[in-house]
Amino acid sequence: MSEVFTGSFTQQEPIPESGIEAAIAVMRHGRLHRYNTAPGETAEAALLEQEFATLVGAKYCLAVASGGYALATALRAVGVKPDQPVLSNAFTLAPVPGAIAAVGAVPVFVEVTESLTIDLDDLAAKADKARVLLLSHMRGHICDMDRLMSICDAAGITVIEDCAHTMGAAWNGTPSGRHGTVGCYSCQTYKHVNSGEGGFLVTDDEAVAARAIMLSGSYMLYGRHAAGPPPEAYESIRYETPNISGRMDNLRAAILRPQLADLPAQCTRWNARYRRLEKGLSGTPGLTIVDRPAAESIVGSSFQFLLLDWAAEAVREVVSRCAARGVELKWFGAAEPVAFTSRYDSWRYVESDAMPATDRVLAGLLDMRVPLTFSLEDCALIARIIRAEVGAVFQAQSSPGV
């Protein structure tokens, strides 16, 4: 009888007991707003910012309401204006071009490679088209950041990193989010720390940090940001920067602080699951495993593979057959967006040139979440199911007369 997986691809682990206790303490005293503190008290949000800045080695950190808010705030803080072009990956999730559009700017897409990272040759060719790159480390895949920064520095391009899927990851030992001027992170439920919604913005640039804090709705309480720049950084900025409120509250900060402390151990657990899937699928006929360079320290919270140059109907059949056995695969090649699988040609508020290399990759790209509620044995079972169903469809495609 065929094996069936019965677990959930959307069930996360519970919040740690220490986070639950901290959240209850906040609810008991009632001071949820980050600037509502008792005499001598440092807000949970301010403590969280200090701890995250230390974790990634940044001078300044701002905790905000969502990762998408962090992206739009970063764009505004580096000076992006309406109608200004902003470079970004053609393969990303909707909040990335959405953040660009939210500030009135215009996304200019760059091709992606079979490694699911931005095509650095295409970036170099388009480097004269914009002064800002909003770089998405999509689904946790990090490109050659040394070469990317060389291209951008030579062209005078400011880099903002979308690290929604790479909190805890690194390139050549440098934490994700620390190569560019700004790093943005998400704390949404399916990311590496979970507060339902939430995010961080980090930078070493004093003026960018001051603008971001004012944008977030600090009023004139910027002095309560222990991970912010000194008071003199706000001298002119406080009069020139609009309040676009998007602060994180103390309740979410209290939930997150214990999770940050656990992040290295959690990353190790994710990677063990990722490698078990990778091992189980290695050598499957017709299936391409995405290359992970030695310089990339990954966090394997999701898994992708490619069925390159397969007919669309065959890919759909793999998805259907796996679903019948309990394995949920998301396909980025469908004609219409489904759940989070929208792509550059789905975002009709953006005019885009044809992206043939990206189209080929997305046509064969399958993706799945890897929650830590999966055991290593679960991952081995999932790999066996995918291997069997891909193999069956591949063999049928390859058979004479089919």
Equal CATH topology for 17-257 and 263-398: no
| Structure confidence at residue 339 (pLDDT) | 85
- Buried/exposed code over 284-322 (b: 16+ C-beta within 10 A; e: otherwise): bebbbbbebeeebbbbbbbbbbbbeebeeebbebbbebb
| Structure confidence at residue 34 (pLDDT) | 98
pLDDT truncated to tens, each residue of the chain (402 aa)? 489 999 999 999 999 999 999 999 999 999 999 999 999 999 999 999 999 999 999 999 999 999 999 999 999 999 999 999 999 999 999 999 999 999 999 999 999 999 999 999 999 999 999 999 999 999 999 999 999 999 999 999 999 999 999 999 999 999 999 999 999 999 999 999 999 999 999 999 999 999 999 999 999 999 999 999 999 999 999 999 999 999 999 999 999 999 999 999 999 999 999 999 999 999 999 999 999 999 999 999 999 999 999 999 999 999 999 999 999 999 999 888 888 888 899 999 998 889 999 999 999 999 999 999 999 999 999 999 999 999 999 998 877 554
Asked if residues 124 and 149 have their Cβ atoms less than 8 Å apart, the reply is: no
38 alpha-carbon distance from chain centroid:
35
Return the CATH fold of 263-398. Aspartate Aminotransferase, domain 1 (3.90.1150)
The Cα angle at residue 96 between residues 92 and 100, in degrees rounded to 5: 140
| Structure confidence at residue 401 (pLDDT) | 56
| Structure confidence at residue 338 (pLDDT) | 87
**CATH class of residue range 17-257:** alpha beta
Sequence-distant (6+) residues with CB within 8 A of 222 are 210, 213, 214, 228, 231, 234, 238
Full-model pTM: 0.97
Q: Tokens standing for 391? A: 């193999």
Q: What does the alpha-carbon distance between residue 385 and residue 311 come to, in Å, rounded to a whole number?
A: 21
* Calculated CA dihedral for residues 325, 330, 331, 335, nearest 10 degrees: 110
Domain ranges of the chain: 17-257, 263-398
DSSP β-ladder status, 199-203 and 60-64: antiparallel
Q: Tokens standing for 402? A: 């089919």
| Structure confidence at residue 283 (pLDDT) | 97
HEC secondary structure over the chain: CCCCCCCCCCCCCCCCHHHHHHHHHHHHHCCCCCCCCCCCCCCHHHHHHHHHHHHHCCCEEEEECCHHHHHHHHHHHCCCCCCCEEEEECCCCCHHHHHHHHCCCEEEEECECCCCCECHHHHHHCCCCCCEEEEECHHHCCCCHHHHHHHHHHHCCEEEEECCCCCCCEECCEECCCCCCEEEEECCCCCCCCCCCCEEEEECCHHHHHHHHHHCCCCCCHHHCCCCCCHHHHCCHHHHCCCCCCECCHHHHHHHHHHHHHHHHHHHHHHHHHHHHHHHHCCCCCCEECCCCCCEECCCCEEEEECCCCCHHHHHHHHHHHHHCCCCCEECCCCCCCCCCCCHHHCCCCCCCCCHHHHHHHHCEEEEECCCCCCHHHHHHHHHHHHHHHHHHHHHHHCCCC
Other Cβ atoms closer than 10 A to 243: 11
| Structure confidence at residue 400 (pLDDT) | 59
| Structure confidence at residue 54 (pLDDT) | 98
DSSP β-ladder status, 199-203 and 182-186: antiparallel
* Amino acid found at 370: V
Asked if residues 158 and 78 have their Cβ atoms less than 8 Å apart, the reply is: yes
